[in-house]
Structure 1
Amino acid sequence: MASEVLPVSQVPLLVSPQQYEIGGKVLRSVQKLQPTAEGMKMLEPGRKKLSSVETQRVVAVLDDTIKRLEIVSLFQHAIENLDRYSIVFGSELSGALREHQRLRDNMQRQLNHFSQEAAEEEDEAESVWEKSRVDMAVLHQGVQSSVRNILRLFLANPTASKTLRAEGQARNQDFQKLIQVLSELRGFLFEMLLTSPLEKDERMHYLQELTLRDHKNREALSALEEELNAAILDRDNEIAKKNEIIRQLKISLHQLEKASETQVRRTMQEAENQQKSDRRASEGKCAKFQQDLQQLRTQLNGAIAENREIELSLRKKKYKVETEIENWIQKYDADMGDKQTELEELEAVYEEEKAQLAELKEKLAVLEVEYVQIMEERRLAQLRKEAEEEELARKNHAATIIQAHWKGYQVRKTMKSKKKKKKGKGKGKGKGASSKGKGKK
């Protein structure tokens, strides 16, 4: 049968045996849990620092996420007290916060408007929400861009970041719980990254052995309880028998006292009567009767003293037995109370860690969805950027071609005008020479 593995906080430790004696019987003991240095060392990570770059990056990413979340959770507080922080934030960061508040107000008004329209047009509520989805996506993207821009400005201004993070008491409780959960996740993740797979296997094997030992101790505890109940029953029977003996002795003593008193009264009456009748004639008989009376009194006192000694001895023995039984019961109750308290504490820690694990899983699922959405938005933004760059390259190429054609056209036009000017000058020179020649003739 597969054994259950307990968490580290509920691990049973090594034990030391004890014995109990009730009514002359030696009972088996439950071993008392004691911590050992070897067991505690087995449960601690083998390393103190992260050795690989990948694990350091994982922890650094989680630390950066917690730091950014601490800043984002105080945006509303910073906006409400912007006049007080305006000098520390600067004009650019203050303007970004005001713009973020304006975007949030727009989104809230848009949501209220859509809700009102959907309430007024119940039959077309689905179509109203479908039409509003595009507008809400644009507003949502604007708010996300505003948050990223404000975070960038805060990271560029360490003084403003430190000042805002110092106002942690103004943070919303939900954000505070989320930050606390992420911090606990960071510690848990850091411990996991410090633990190698071999150490993890050894720890699981060690925990399984301790769990089996704990099951055995529980079985021994059940057997001890049964033996204790049987011993208590025997003790009660023995006490009942002794009480019955004491009761019978008391009855016998009472009867003996009553008989002695009766006999004494009768003897005294007879002695008095005999003394009255034969006082002068029976001095010897009177002395004899007095001697008999003294002997009877001595016997009576001896019997009473003997019975009282027997009663005192029995009472002392009874008190000793009851005291011993009461001590054993108190010791058993104390031990069982300690065990029960320890068990309840371990169960409470286990339930708390189980609830925290479930909550962390839910938070991680939400973060994974947001991560996929952010990566998809980055991919779309990259595609848009590449399309814009490609369009700009085509425009530049077309502009270059147009400029080249225009320059060629200008050059051709200039050359053509120069050729016309040269031709005009040549024709003018020919006409002047011919007129001169005619004049000479």
Structure 2
Amino acid sequence: MASNVLSMPQPTVVSSPQPLQSPAGGVVRLLKLSPIKTLPNIDSIKMLEPGRKKLSSIETQRVVAVLDETIKKLELVSLFQHAIENVDRYSVVFGSELAGALREHKRLQDNMERRLQRVKSGEDESSIQGAKTNRVEDADLHFGALHQGVQSSVRNTMRLLLTNPTACKTLRSEGNVRDQASQTLIRFLSELRPFLYEKLLTSPLEQNERRHYLQEITLRDHKNRNILMALEEELNAAILDRDTEISKKNGIIRQLKIKLHQLEKFSENQVKRTMQEAENQQKSDCRASEGKTAKLQQELQQLRSQLNGAIVENREVELGLRKKKYKVETEIENWIQKYDGDMGEKQAELEEVEGMYEEEKAQLVELKEKLAVLEVEYVQIVEERRLAQLRREEAERELASMNRAAIVIQAHWKGYQVRRSMKSKKKKKKKGKGKSAKGKTKK
């Protein structure tokens, strides 16, 4: 865009800078991009970093430990081929048991490679096509046994190698002979470790906050890009309008130059005729002016005397006006200085108020986020209190009904006891009356 502006043709007539004109005659005003506002009270770098520095749970520590152990073992397994090829050179460091395990691993690996080569060359296909189903199954079982044997050999060799730190250190020092595929896999796992470590350090809440933060930054960047594209289109349209206007003015200037050239030619002829006429008129005027000159000389002397008097008066008036002008200029300078000072103070106050506004705005956003969380918690608490109140009221109703039932039962029980005691008293009275009647009959 800058190169296009610099390469535009300049008009031949230089005038004072004017604002860009649109075809309709209006002024095109270029908007200024507002800077991207950062999130309130949040450091971008700290937001993208995990909240903790160490793994707190045992599960995450085990995950990282498993990955580290895998990388270490992969570094050793990828060097098995080099160790097998140079087992005689490292026999003292490896020991007899580890050297024997490496040779056994080489034997199993060679058998498996020969088996794979036969399968690829098609030797087994012809035999399988003419053989029975049980022979095919035996071949598959044999290949599976070879595969399991290689796996067991790798585990056994790795176990023996880990029990020999000197052999591990010696084998690790030969890392430059590792094949490209293993090197790439180890590098990818090593690059995966810090990423996994950071993921394990980050809690789900922090992950959600980071995702929301990145989404907001992406949305703001997209909006700013759209604004920038709109402004660039507006600027291009304004530049096109200005070029069109400049081309129109250049055409007008060319036409005016042609007309000016024609006027110059016409004026030259007119001047020649006028000069001739003027010379003739001058000669006649000279003769008439000689008589008038004497008269005018006398008038000139009188006017000079009047001029000298007027000059003296005007100098006095000028001196007074100069003093007044100096006083007014001094006052204007003082007012300008006072205005600059007041405007500087107002600008400082404005910047301070804007800073306070940004801080309060950031606090408002933070409080809104906290309020949203607290509002959810408040709704849950109110719902729990309502349910608890309903349970208490239900318990009170049950207790009241139980109390009424207990009172009724107690009343019935007391009535039963009273009736029972009354019955027992009546029986005792009847017995007493029967005994007294018997005594009387005996007498």
Q: TM-score of the superposition, structure 1-length normalised? A: 0.51
Residue correspondence of structure 1 range 137-216 to structure 2 within 5 A: 137-216=144-223
1:26 alignment counterpart = 29
Alignment of 1:410-429 (within 5 A): none
Kindly state the Cα deviation for residue 35 of structure 1 after the two structures are TM-superposed.
Answer: 7.8
Structure 1: any 5+ residue segments left out of the alignment? 1-20, 272-283, 289-441
Deviations 1:303-343 (A, max 9, x none): xxxxxxxxxxxxxxxxxxxxxxxxxxxxxxxxxxxxxxxxx
1:73 aligns with 2:78: yes
- Counting only pairs closer than 5 Å after superposition, residues 272-291 of structure 1 correspond to structure 2 as none
- Separation in structure 1 between the aligned mates of residue 83 and residue 112 of structure 2, nearest angstrom: 19
Shift of 1:30: 3.4
Query: What's 2:366 paired with?
Result: none
Over 3 Å counting, the alpha-carbon distance change for 1:250 and 1:121 in structure 2 is farther
Q: Identity across aligned pairs (percent)?
A: 64
Go from structure 1 to structure 2 and tell me whether the alpha carbon gap of 1:131 and 1:122 turns closer, same or farther (over 3 Å shift). Answer: closer
Q: 229, 236, 240: which is aligned to 1:222? A: 229
- Mapped partners of 1:29, 1:232: distance in 2: 17
- RMSD in angstroms over aligned alpha carbons? 3.4
Distance 1:91 1:261 in 2: 122
Instruction: Assess if the C-alpha contact under 8 Å between 1:42 and 1:203 holds in 2.
Output: yes
CA distance in 2, matches of 1:237, 1:114: 78
Tell me, in whole angstroms, the C-alpha distance in 1 between the residues paired with 2:246 and 2:282. 50
1:235 pairs with one of 213, 224, 242: 242
Cα distance, 1:113–1:287 mapped onto 2, change above 3 Å = same
1:425 aligned residue:
none
Q: Determine the C-alpha separation between the residues in 1 that align with 2:144 and 2:281.
A: 132
- The 1-side partners of 2:281 and 2:173 are apart by 114
Matched to 1:96, the amino acid is A
Mapped contact 1:119–1:125 kept (Cα < 8 A): no
Structure 1 position 255 matched with structure 2 position 262: yes
2:90 corresponds to 1:99: no
Give the whole-Å Cα distance in 1 for the aligned partners of 2:151 and 2:188.
23
> Could you say which structure has the greater relative contact order, defined with CA pairs below 8 angstroms and 6 or more residues apart?
2
Shift of 1:236: 1.4
Q: Which runs of 5+ in 2 are unaligned?
A: 1-18, 22-26, 284-443
Could you say which residue in structure 2 is the equivalent of 1:16?
none
Matched letter for residue 163 of structure 1: T
1:58-83: per-residue Cα shift (whole Å, max 9, x none)?
10011000110111111112222333
- State the distance in 2 between where 1:227 and 1:163 align: 69
Quote the residue 1:59 is aligned against.
Answer: 64
How far, CA to CA, are the matches of 2:76 and 2:36 in structure 1?
47
Q: Does the aligned pair in 1 maintain the 2:36–2:220 contact within 8 Å?
A: no
Seen in structure 2, the aligned counterparts of structure 1 residues 86 and 262 have a Cα distance that, compared at 3 Å, is: farther
In structure 1, C-alpha distance between the alignment counterparts of 2:252 and 2:175, rounded to whole Å:
77
Q: Within 2, Cα distance between the matches of 1:262 and 1:120?
A: 117
TM-score (norm 2): 0.51
**Aligned in 2, Cα 1:157/1:260: closer, same or farther, shift over 3 Å?**
farther
Quickly say closer, same or farther: Cα 1:214–1:108, change in 2 above 3 A.
same
Shift of the 120–223 alpha-carbon distance from structure 1 to 2, 3 Å rule, reads: same
Evaluate the alpha carbon distance shift between residue 114 and residue 153 of structure 1 in structure 2; reply closer, same or farther with a 3 A threshold. Answer: same
The answer to whether the Cα contact below 8 Å between 1:66 and 1:179 also exists between their aligned partners in 2 is yes
**What code does the residue aligned with 1:153 have?**
L
Q: Which runs of 4+ in 1 moved over 6 A?
A: 34-37, 261-264
Code of the residue aligned with 2:65 in structure 1: it is A
Aligned to 1:118: 124
Aligned CA distance change for structure 1 residues 138 and 261 (closer, same or farther; 3 Å):
same
Alignment of 1:357-376 (within 5 A): none
User: Does the 8 A contact of 1:86 with 1:94 survive in 2?
Assistant: yes
Structure 1 or 2, whichever has the larger Rg, is 2
Q: Per-residue displacement from partner, 1:278-301 (whole Å, max 9, x unpaired)?
A: xxxxxx76998xxxxxxxxxxxxx
Provide the C-alpha distance between the structure 1 equivalents of 2:224 and 2:132, rounded to a whole number of angstroms.
63
Question: In 1, are the aligned partners of 2:74 and 2:186 still within 8 Å (CA)?
Answer: yes
Aligned CA distance change for structure 1 residues 262 and 53 (closer, same or farther; 3 Å): same
Matched with 1:108 is 113
SS in 1 for 2:29: strand
Matches of 1:229 and 1:147, distance apart in 2:
69
The one-letter code matched in structure 2 to 1:28 is L
